[in-house]
């Protein structure tokens, strides 16, 4: 139950189990109704609705989907939600994909709580919906979820923070830290944070870690829109209010974009980044450079190529009317049902294992080898 995305779900355990059982088979019969059992034409239209380009992984995914779906014989319609009016524009894009006859729509949601109407429309038209990377909440009309194991991402980040503090701070515990979480409209943000806090909270409780600002809950730590400028200004305020006379040893950052913003703030405050630990996620090129330069401590490798390939495999199974391969039918409760999921394993990356971690990512490997 620890990974359930919505704390507000008030079902009893028994009711939740019953719902999980019927929902996951419901997911499959939804797919069957939409052509999963009979399949659909091998050159069908497939919609892919991606959010604004807040991270490099989203930028990469668009090209990989277009190419991969074309190579598989489908007609891809890949759309990004624009940077302004993003939620409404993504809603419009999804509606248009339904109207244009897509058989499957893959969605990286901008706001996973605001797609109920469009997904009902999709369901009524027999379209199968795959939530990509981010869970879509509060609707029965999500058939599958494909993502890296987000809770595990958080756990790896929490452990990396502890390891970095030990290795870099130049002193033993206690360590002074601050916590950052992602955008509140992204279902992943709470899952990353909960995973990290499963490692960090016991260390806060026993005094190993000291969150000097006292800001430890997800509302206080949130970064609206996953925007670098929001993380930087919160970090500036935290430093000014709490760290004029005590050192800051580390920060839990949920991704690379925010990690680099936090590092900018720490540098501008004249602090020594070599003794400072900040975590990240996404293996963005700039962050891999920063890790190799001894600044950012860690990132997570969630290879977008693998995630897109897994999604296309799901679409091919649906096309042929085969059973869709999932490896998790218990953890991702969207508030209405447990969505059958295929989860890929994330990998923690530091300077020490970067070469091995990026062995199959030529451009990142080049950065690592160039820095050695
Ligand atoms: C993704 C992260 C990404 C963040 C901001 C999350 O939903 O899982 O990889 O850093 O969005 O784009």
Query: What is the pLDDT, as a whole number, of residue 162?
Result: 98
- Identical fold at 2-142+303-339 and 151-301+350-371? yes
DSSP at 169: S
pTM, full prediction = 0.90
Mean pLDDT, residues 330-340: 96
Distance in angstroms (rounded) separating the CA atoms of residues 24 and 134: 18
Domains of the chain, by residue range, sit at 2-142+303-339, 151-301+350-371
Express as a percent the part of the chain with pLDDT over 90: 88
Residues with CB under 6 Å of ligand 1 are: 54-55, 57-58, 133-134, 182, 186, 188, 226, 255, 281-282
Residue 183 confidence (pLDDT) above 90:
yes
Identify the pLDDT of residue 50.
Answer: 98
Cβ-contact 112, 81 below 8 angstroms:
no
**Residues 234-247: tens digit of each pLDDT:** 999 999 999 999 99
- Please state the φ and ψ torsions of residue 206, each to the nearest 5 degrees: -90, 5
Residue bearing the CA closest to ligand 1, atom 3: 55
Q: In angstroms, what is the span from residue 131 Cα to ligand 1's centroid?
A: 14
Give the residue, out of 5, 51, 52, 54, with the most ligand 1 atoms within 8 A of its beta carbon, to mutate for a pocket test. Answer: 54
Model confidence at 323, in pLDDT bands (50, 70, 90)?
very high
Pocket test for ligand 1, best of 50, 51, 55 (most atoms within 8 A of CB): 55
**Residue range 252-267: average pLDDT?**
98
Span 89-130, pLDDT tens digits: 999 999 999 999 999 999 999 999 999 999 999 999 999 999
Rounded to the nearest angstrom, the distance between the alpha carbon of 55 and the centre of ligand 1 is: 7
Q: Ligand 1: distance of its center to the CA of 152 in Å?
A: 14
pLDDT at 10 over 50: no
CA-wise closest residue to 37 among 19, 25, 23: 25
DSSP state of 188: H
263, 295 in Cβ contact below 8 A?
Answer: yes
Grade residue 52 by pLDDT with cuts at 50, 70 and 90.
confident
Section 53-70 average pLDDT? 96
3-state SS assignment for residue 111: coil
- Going by C-alpha positions, the residue among 349, 328, 347, 346 that lies closest to residue 338 is 328
Place of tokens 């809770």: 151
Gap between the Cα atoms of 81 and 79, Å rounded: 7
Second CATH level (architecture) for the domain 2-142+303-339: 3-Layer(aba) Sandwich (3.40)
Nearest CA, atom 10, ligand 1? 255
User: Mean per-residue pLDDT for 314-341?
Assistant: 97
Cα–ligand 1 centroid distance for 339 (angstroms): 19
Q: Which residue's entry shows tokens 């069957």?
A: 32
- Note the pLDDT of residue 6: 39
Mean pLDDT value across residues 168-175: 98
More confident: 327 or 31: 327
Give the residue, by CA position, lying nearest to ligand 1 atom 6.
188
Please give the distance, rounded to the nearest whole angstrom, from the Cα atom of residue 181 to the centre of ligand 1: 11
CATH 3.40.50.2300 for the 151-301+350-371 domain, yes or no: yes
Q: Could you give the CA distance from residue 339 to residue 230 in angstroms, rounded to a whole number? A: 32
pLDDT number for residue 24: 36
> What average pLDDT does the chain have?
91
| pLDDT at site 37 | 57
Distance 108 CA to ligand 1 centre (A): 10
In DSSP notation, 42-96 reads TT-EEEEEE----SHHHHHHHHHHHHHHHHTT-EEEEEEPPSSSHHHHHHHHHHH
Residues of the chain with pLDDT > 70: what percent? 90
Q: Which atom of ligand 1 is nearest to the CA of 192?
A: 8
């Amino acid at each position: 139950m620890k990974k359930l995305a919505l704390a507000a779900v008030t079902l009893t355990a028994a009711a939740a189990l019953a719902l999980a059982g019927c929902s996951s088979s419901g997911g499959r019969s939804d797919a069957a109704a939409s052509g999963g059992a009979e399949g659909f034409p091998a050159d069908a239209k497939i919609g892919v609705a991606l959010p604004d380009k807040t991270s490099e992984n989203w930028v990469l995914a668009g090209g990989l989907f277009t190419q991969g779906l074309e190579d598989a014989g489908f007609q891809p319609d890949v759309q990004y939600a624009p940077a302004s009016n993003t939620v409404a524009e993504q809603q419009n894009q999804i509606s248009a994909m339904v109207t244009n006859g897509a058989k499957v729509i893959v969605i990286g949601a901008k706001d996973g709580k605001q797609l109920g109407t469009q997904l009902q429309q999709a369901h009524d038209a027999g379209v199968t919906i795959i939530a990509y990377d981010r869970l879509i909440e509060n609707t029965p009309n999500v058939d599958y979820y494909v993502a890296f194991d987000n809770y595990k991402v958080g756990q790896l980040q929490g452990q990396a923070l502890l390891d970095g503090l030990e290795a870099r701070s130049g002193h033993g515990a206690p360590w002074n830290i601050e916590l950052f979480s992602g955008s509140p409209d992204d279902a992943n943000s709470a899952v990353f944070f909960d995973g990290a806090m499963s490692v960090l909270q016991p260390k806060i409780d026993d005094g190993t870690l000291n969150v000097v600002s006292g800001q430890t809950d997800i509302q206080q730590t949130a970064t609206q829109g996953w925007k670098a400028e929001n993380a930087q200004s919160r970090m500036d305020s935290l430093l000014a209010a709490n760290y004029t006379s005590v050192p800051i040893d580390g920060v839990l950052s949920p991704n690379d974009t925010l990690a680099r913003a936090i590092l900018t703030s720490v540098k501008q405050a004249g602090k020594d980044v070599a003794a400072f630990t900040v975590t990240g996620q996404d293996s963005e090129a700039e962050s891999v450079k920063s890790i190799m330069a001894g600044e950012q401590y860690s990132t997570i490798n969630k290879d977008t190529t693998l995630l897109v390939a897994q999604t296309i495999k799901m679409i091919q199974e649906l096309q042929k009317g085969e059973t869709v391969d999932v490896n998790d039918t218990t953890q991702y409760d969207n508030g209405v049902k447990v969505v059958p999921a295929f989860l890929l394993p994330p990998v923690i990356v530091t300077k020490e294992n970067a070469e091995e971690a990026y062995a199959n990512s030529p451009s990142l490997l080049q950065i690592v080898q160039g820095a050695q």
